Structure 1
Amino acid sequence: MAVGHSVDPARWQSVFEGLMAWVAGRFARVEPRRRARGFVLSRFADLPRKNCCTLAEHAGDASPAGMQHLPSRASWAADQVRDDIRDFVVEHLGDQDAVPVVDETGDVKDGTASVGVQRQYTGTAGRIENSRVAVCLVHSSPDGHAAIDRRLCIPRSWTQDPDRCRTAGIPEDPGFATKPALATEMIAQTPDARRAGHLGHRRRGRWR
């Protein structure tokens, strides 16, 4: 969770350990759970470059194999972890003035195999690049802000090519969705929207 003021390291560590305990049950084995903890802590480290090799080194691993295994082959419930993190953030940063903030982020890529990649504009580079783009949802309150959801944009160049989608492991018929549609879908899944049963009305009270 990010805040606008200086961060108390002890408090941050306490909240982080609480979050890891919150999502612990989503990992089938203790090894990926421990690896995930090391992965996240390494991502926050002041490293000149951040890839599986540097993250593994910072975490004290003998090789990058474990860090590479975590996002690609390890057994853990990614969507359920996302839901748990969303509920945890809202629980700790709930406020009557909290708002959802939507933005997109680009990831410059080489080649054509990465899911959703094509030549398109990305704000990350400030120009058209071979990249993929995701829409992210952030919970923002006077006490701080944190990302709580994300959706990868799958361009029409992909959705209109079933063979390419199948080869990349995309579920059958993903369908094309615009960025506003993806944002609406994420907002609809926030706890407050689920209870309200509709969008477009920001109630006084917590986004919970």
Structure 2
Amino acid sequence: MATRLGGDGNREALTHCSTSSPWDPAYVRARPAWMMHVAIGPEALIFNDTGFVNDEAASACGSRQYTGPAGKVTNCQVGVSPHLAHDHGSAAVNWLLFPPTSWDPASAEADAAKVARRTRRGIPDHVGHVESGSWPWT
């Protein structure tokens, strides 16, 4: 979307809208899930974790950690998404970015600079590091 908007400042407005909007994201995320449930007729729910390689250390939950797409420890963000799946297609119907221990104020490995960025990045106080076996959807 941002690429289609061009370089006249609309990219910044789109980013602001998607990161600072007043609506409840649960309703925004539920709409595509409902649509994809009807379109796909899912036979399975698949959870996928992935890393988003990112050189910008200030990105929300960005840290040096292992990510499968890079196959090594690098600066990245890690997220998980549930997908509705059928043999003819699949669709991500929700997603969650996971804070590493360095972004979690309750962790002994917390980084003071990263913890201070939580508010600016919109990370709620109750969200902390979660081990993969304790994902909120499992």
| TM-score grouping bracket, smaller chain normalisation | 0.7 to 0.9
Distance 1:74 1:126, change over 3 A: same
Given that residues 166 and 172 in structure 1 are in contact (C-alpha distance below 8 angstroms), is that contact kept between their aligned partners in structure 2? no
1:103 corresponds to which residue? 48
1:113 to 58, 61, 72: 58
1:179 corresponds to which residue? 132
- 1:44-102, CA deviations, whole angstroms, 9 ceiling, x for partnerless residues? xxxxxxxx3x2313xxx84434333332334443222112221221122225xx11111
2:87 corresponds to which residue? 142
2:98 corresponds to which residue? 153
Given that residues 103 and 137 in structure 1 are in contact (C-alpha distance below 8 angstroms), is that contact kept between their aligned partners in structure 2? yes
1:79 corresponds to which residue? 26
Given that residues 139 and 145 in structure 1 are in contact (C-alpha distance below 8 angstroms), is that contact kept between their aligned partners in structure 2? yes
Given that residues 103 and 118 in structure 2 are in contact (C-alpha distance below 8 angstroms), is that contact kept between their aligned partners in structure 1? no
**What pairs with 1:1-208 in structure 2 (closer than 5 Å)?**
39=1, 52=2, 54-57=3-6, 62-63=8-9, 64-95=11-42, 98-159=43-104, 160=107, 161=110, 164-169=114-119, 170-182=123-135, 185-186=136-137
Bigger drift between 121-130 and 70-79 goes to 70-79
For residue 55 of structure 1, what is the amino acid of its counterpart? R
Distance 1:68 1:151, change over 3 A: closer
Q: 2 CA distance for matches of 1:152 and 1:62?
A: 29
Given that residues 82 and 148 in structure 1 are in contact (C-alpha distance below 8 angstroms), is that contact kept between their aligned partners in structure 2? yes
Query: 1:116 offset after TM fit, Å?
Result: 1.3
Distance 1:181 1:62, change over 3 A: same
Bigger drift between 130-139 and 153-162 goes to 153-162
Gaps of 5+ in 1: 1-38, 40-51, 188-208
Larger % of strand: which?
A: 2
Given that residues 81 and 95 in structure 2 are in contact (C-alpha distance below 8 angstroms), is that contact kept between their aligned partners in structure 1? yes
Distance 1:180 1:89, change over 3 A: farther
Larger % of helix: which?
A: 1
Q: 2 CA distance for matches of 1:67 and 1:139?
A: 27
- How many residues in Structure 1 have an aligned counterpart in Structure 2? 129
Query: 1:124 offset after TM fit, Å?
Result: 2.0
